[in-house]
Structure 1
Amino acid sequence: MPGFLSPYRGERYHLRDYRGAKNPQGPEEIFNYTHSSLRNVLERCFGVLKARFPILRDMPPYDLKRQKYIILSCCVLHNLFKMCKDGDPIFTHYANENVELEDDIVTANAFEDEVTPSVSQSELRRMAKFRDRLAKRLWDRQDS
C-alpha cells in the first residue's frame, strides 16, 4: 500500500533481539529498533483495549457500521478511564513494555514470512529511500 514503511530485512528487529545484546549497530538496526519499539507501544495500547473490552477480541458478526460504533465507544470509554482513574491495574499491567501480548505468538514469525504488497515498484523504491533517509537521521541523532 502507498506509504507502507517496512523494517529492514536481515537486521535485528524484535525488541527481544536487543535485550542483553549490543545496542543497535548502524542506521538499519536503529531504524528497526525504533520501528519495533513503536509497534510494541501500539500493540500494548490494543492489549489494554482488548483486556478491558472483551467484545473487541471476539467481535460478534454485526454489520461493519455497528462494529465501527462499538470500537469507537470502547475507545471513548477507555480515554475516560485513563483520565479519571489513577492506578488502574489494567493500565499498570500494560505499561510494562515486557508484557506478553496475546498476539506475540502470531506476530513473532510474521516478519520472516514473505509478504508482497500490491504496490508499484516506484512506490516501493520511494518508501525505501524515505526509510533510508529516516534511518540515517535516527543514527546521526544517536551520535549527537
Structure 2
Amino acid sequence: MLPGWEGSAADGRVLRDAIDWRGDNPSPRCKEEHFNMRHSRARNVIERAFGLLKGRWGILRSPSWYSVKVHNRVISACYLIHNFIHREMEVDPLDSDMEEQVEYQYENIDVVESSEEWSSWRNKLAQRMWNERTNN
C-alpha cells in the first residue's frame, strides 16, 4: 500500500516510489553509516544469543573468577550443548520459557579509551565494507 498519490499519477512513477521506500531503515549514505548499521545488527544477534544462553546456563549470569581461557571453554561448552539440544529435540521445553524471560543485561562501561590503532582498523574495515556494498 502506498497512499498519497493522485489518481492521475502514472503507475510506473508510483511503483518506483514504492520500490525506493525504505521506511524507518533508509539505506546508509556513507561508509560510517553502513559500518554502524552492520555493527548494530551484529551486536543485536550477539546480545540475543548470549541472552538465550544466560537463560539456560546459570554459570553465565554472574562474573566469573575463572581464567579467560577456561571461561572461553565454558562458553563454548554451553553453545555446543545448546546446539546439541536443538538438533536432537523436536521441541525444547525451555525455549518458550526463555523467550519470555530473556532480558538483555548490559554492563556499565565507565571508561572507553580510544587508540589510534583501533580507530585506524575500524576506518579501514568501514571503507572495505562500503566498497563491497557499492561494487555489488
Give the TM-score normalised by the residue count of structure 2.
0.57
Deviation digits for residues 57-114 of structure 1, max 9, x if unmatched? 02564x437655543432221121121123435556878xxx974225x57xx6xx77
- Identity score, percent: 28
Larger Rg: 2
- Which residue of 80, 105, 111 maps to 1:103? 105
Alignment match, 1:10:
none
Q: RMSD of aligned C-alpha atoms?
A: 3.7
1:77/1:88 CA distance change after superposition, 3 Å? same
- Which residue of 24, 29, 48 maps to 2:27? 24
Alignment match, 1:41:
45
1:139/1:72 CA distance change after superposition, 3 Å? same
Larger fraction in helix? 2
Between Structure 1 and Structure 2, how many residues are aligned? 112
Alignment match, 2:90:
86
| Aligned 8 A contact 1:49 1:75 in 2 | yes
Give the TM-score normalised by the residue count of structure 1.
0.55
Alignment match, 1:129:
124
| Aligned 8 A contact 2:54 2:61 in 1 | yes
Structure 1: tracts of 5 or more residues without a match: 1-19
CA distance in 1, matches of 2:75, 2:125: 33
Farther-moved stretch of structure 1 (123-132 vs 43-52): 123-132
Q: Secondary structure at the match of 1:81?
A: helix
